[in-house]
Amino acid sequence: MNEPTLLVDVQDGVMALTLNRPDKLNAIDNGLARALLAAIARAESDDAVRVLLLRGTGRAFCAGRDLGAPPTEDDLTLVQAVAQALVSLPKPVVAAVHGWAVGAGLEWMLDADVVIAADSARFKLPEASLGVFVTGGLTATLPAAVGLARAKGLMLLGEPFHATQAQAWGLVWQVVADDALEASANQVCARLAQLEPAVAGRFKKVLNDVGLAHFQRAIEAENAAQRGLTPSSAPSVP
């Protein structure tokens, strides 16, 4: 029997969603994206869930789109739907990141509200070199975090960067030793779970309404750019 591509666990008000394709560095296929959408919807409807934790098994958080998976018309729709679901969820989302966070994996990370990164975390946006466009509302979230000039450099040059750079640039909240990542993420989740849900939800909504005022516009512009750039034979999302 095949292992599920997404592991779901709920304890003490925290729903942990663990990307579980370790042999692929948790690269995204449509099955994983659909499972994430279903889990986020479940988190939204379950009053017992106060916080969402997103993490990965194995050697990486998420290596982006699975370039070995046959491209389908649903690729772009699904990866964008997950981004929108994470941002619109009226509950805090924490991302615990280790190893590589590449392409759509990095983009989903930035859709979280609080990011804890391990020392081993490495980041890269290779889309321009692949001839495709970014997704996940990145054209809104990345400039909001690092400023327009640095966002352009990161997207166009696609150079890798490490966790301490990510923290200095405002992409992550905290950097910890690899062996402390799980405990640190759990501690942050526990603190968030103690907040009054209505208060936490209102803070998230207002901060996103102001700080990411153009998020939906970014999604729509990314969709148009992706469709205009992607060759019919290439994967839709890196």
DSSP string, 49-75: --EEEEEE-TT-SB-SB-TTSPP-THH
CA 22 to chain centre: 17
The pair of structure tokens assigned to 18 is 């663990």
In angstroms, the CA 90 to CA 39 distance is 14
Residue-level pLDDT at 232 = 41
Beta bridge partners, 114, equal 94
In angstroms, the CA 155 to CA 151 distance is 6
Contact 122, 160 (CB under 8 A): yes
Beta bridge partners, 72, equal none
The pair of structure tokens assigned to 31 is 């099955």
Considering the entire predicted model, what is its pTM?
0.94
The answer to whether 107 is a known catalytic residue is yes
Residue-level pLDDT at 68 = 86
The answer to whether 127 is a known catalytic residue is yes
Residue-level pLDDT at 230 = 53
Give 103-172 as a DSSP string: THHHHHHHTSSEEEEETT-EEE--HHHHT----TTHHHHHHHHH-HHHHHHHHHH---EEHHHHHHTTS-
Catalytic residue among 3, 107, 196, 222: 107
Whose CA is closest to 22, among 66, 60, 69, 68? 60
The pair of structure tokens assigned to 132 is 């495709």
Residue 28, helix vs strand vs coil: strand
Please give the chain's pLDDT, 238 residues, in tens: 578 999 999 999 999 999 999 999 999 999 999 999 999 999 999 999 999 999 999 999 999 999 888 778 899 999 999 999 999 999 999 999 999 999 999 999 999 999 999 999 999 999 999 999 999 999 999 999 999 999 999 999 999 999 999 999 999 999 999 999 999 999 999 999 999 999 999 999 999 999 999 999 999 999 999 988 855 433 444 4
Beta bridge partners, 196, equal none
Residue-level pLDDT at 233 = 38
The pair of structure tokens assigned to 209 is 């309404």
Catalytic residue among 73, 127, 182, 220: 127
How many other C-beta atoms lie within 10 A of the C-beta of residue 77? 13
**Options 3.30.590.20, 3.40.250.10, 3.40.640.10, 3.90.226.10; which CATH number does 6-179+193-229 get?**
3.90.226.10
Residue 232, helix vs strand vs coil: coil
Contact 80, 74 (CB under 8 A): no
Contact 120, 97 (CB under 8 A): no
